[in-house]
Amino acid sequence: QLLDERAKSFLELDSEKFYRMNPYAILRLCEKFLELGLPLNAFNYLEVFLDDEAWLSPIFECYLSALFASEKFDLFLNKIKHLKKEDKTVSVCLIEAQVYERLGEYELSIQSARAAIGISPTYPYAWHLLLHASRSKGLDKDELKSIVQNKRNN
């Protein structure tokens, strides 16, 4: 709680010093905020560095993680809408799949999980999300097995 208060006061009271900080140091700080369960601090610190159509960078990906962890799903979707499919990373696709799953948009979650698999076919969490969203959509056990067997055959 004290860390949360100090982070907020630093951002508010010493904004000039904040803007002069090395972006790498801010990125590492925001990653620590996420690890400590303080995603709103990461969101507030990173938001000032990004415009509406930010390019995909480590800072932008950390910002997207902060949005997800803060359950700012609409803002997350708004911030990634300018990204082309081929520009999305595995990380972005996986967060997108989780956002859609939380919103009950299982078909969109499946599409995002498949996009992550397309980028990194051996990444187990992408497969987990695909199967989870497919099950949530109502696929039965045989249909889920078919998804996995089709992977083996490809």
Cα 83 from Cα 53, distance rounded (Å): 8
**Other CB atoms within 10 Å distance of the CB of residue 44:** 18
The whole-number average pLDDT for the span 70-81 is: 95
pLDDT value at 81 more than 70: yes
In residues, how long is the chain? Answer: 154
Among 18, 37, 34, residue whose Cα is nearest residue 26: 18
Cα 68 from Cα 63, distance rounded (Å): 9
Residue-wise pLDDT for 11-56, tens only, equals 665 666 767 778 888 899 899 999 999 999 899 888 888 887 888 8
How much is the mean pLDDT over the chain?
A: 88
Q: How much is the pTM?
A: 0.84
DSSP code of residue 55: -
pLDDT value at 62 more than 80: yes
